[in-house]
Every structure is written in structure tokens, then in C-alpha cells.
Amino acid sequence: MAKKIALVTGSSRGIGYGILECLAKENWTVVMSDIFEEEKVAESLAKLQATGADASYVQCDISNAESREKALATLAERYGRVDLLVNNAGVAPNVRRNILETTEDSFDRLININLKGTFFMSQLFANQMIAWKNEGLADYMPRIINQSSCSAYTSSTSRGEYCISKAGIAMVTSLFADMLAIDNIPVFEIRPGIIKSDMTATVEEKYNKFILEDGGLPTRRWGLPEDIGRAAAALASGAFDYSTGQVINVDGGFHIRRL
């Protein structure tokens, strides 16, 4: 059986790193990817490899077409296949502003990275996955997982551009799940809730109160990167292939409407 290759974008730390760890435990060869030169992620990559993971690195700025194409070409040469694409890379606003004050620069930045980047990474890799399938690549059953957020449906008026970018990913998932079903390439969406990471560190006090004191989540704890990683590993296993287009909420029950 051929070794399966998984690319996880934005994975030098945080949720993406947690996904790499969980996939590696399931015997995937994992590819860490981020916008940084390899020297800047060397410590993170070495830490992952020290766990026994078969791991490498490829630089990729998902908002840049040339960078996306270079990353795919590198992986095609290195491995001859990519069995799983996890579109995890994303950013939050540099400054939280309410929607009456949001700047076009901030809006454009989030749309270009979070939404446009996810769409065109999916397009690029989907076309290559179809080509590899048509070439008869052995034991090849590729999948795509998109990372959105509970912000896809939850209003946060202090970061509206983030919410819009994540809501768009929901449609990206539906579109590609529909388009690729004929080629037996399942596409899924994971919607994390409040996950302890660098992105939420600046609002830790706010979310501590919301989760631990106010009972804002049915499950009264922070989400962790490994919570997302385990969900991604389950989807990658093939157990849910007939559920293409499905959204998996990994949010401690936040999506449950309660009185």
C-alpha cells in the first residue's frame, strides 16, 4: 500500500500543527506548510519529526498564484501524489474594528487569504487530483478538507471581514463537493469553535469568562488544536466519504441553539 501524503496549510503552529500531529499518528506522511522560509519553521518541524512523524516542509502563500503552483510542483516532484489537502491557513484582522469603521485594506486582506486562497488552492489541487486519478495512480483516493469557523454563521461586528471570509468558505466547500463528487473526491468542512491558539490569545480573558463563567459553551472548556486534528483525521480516514459536503462542528456544542 502506498504511503499517503497530506498537505496542511498554515500548519507551523496552532490548529494546523495539531492536525499534522493527529494525521501523523494515523501513519500519514505530513507536509507542514506556511508563508515562512524553512529556516523560520525549522524548530517546529524538528519537534514534529521528533515524535516519529514522517514530515517535511513546503513554503506556500495561499493568496499568491505563483506560490500555490510552486508548492504543488514541489510536492509532485517530491512524492508524486497528494492524497489530502487541508485548507487550514487563515488570518484574523490585524486590528478589530466594528463594521462601521472596517477598512478596505483589512477586508481585502482577509478575503484574499482566507477565502480566495482557499478557493484557488482547492481548484489547483482538485485538478491535479483528477489528473492523478485519470492516470491510474495506485491506491489513490484523494480528499479535501476546508477549515472555516463558527464565525461562518455567528455575527461578530468587531471583525465582520473575518465572518464574511469564513461564510464564503462554506460555499466553497459545497461547490467543490458538488463538482468533485463525480470523480469520487470528497470535500468536507470543519467549523472550529473557540480554540486556544495564537489567534485567540489576544482575547483570552474575554473567552475565559464566556466559557468558564457564563456557560457560553455546553462543554465548558476551551477547544484545543488536537480536537480539530482528531476530526480531520477521522474525515481523512475514508469513513465519511459518502457524506461529501458535510460540515463538522468542532465547537463544544456552540452551534446548539439554547434557551
Q: Which residues are catalytic?
A: 162
Task: Match 492523478 to its residue by C-alpha cell.
Answer: 132
HEC string for 103-139: CHHHHHHHHHHHHHHHHHHHHHHHHHHHHHHHCCCCC
- State how far the alpha carbon of 54 is from the alpha carbons of 26, 47, 50, in Å: 11, 12, 9
Break the chain down into helix, strand, coil percent, rounded to 5: 50, 15, 35
Helix axes 65-79, 117-134, angle to 10 degrees: 30
Residue written as cell 474525515? 235
Residue 215's CB is within 10 A of a number of other CB atoms, namely: 10
Strands 143-147 and 187-192: parallel
| Cell numbers standing for residue 211 | 466559557
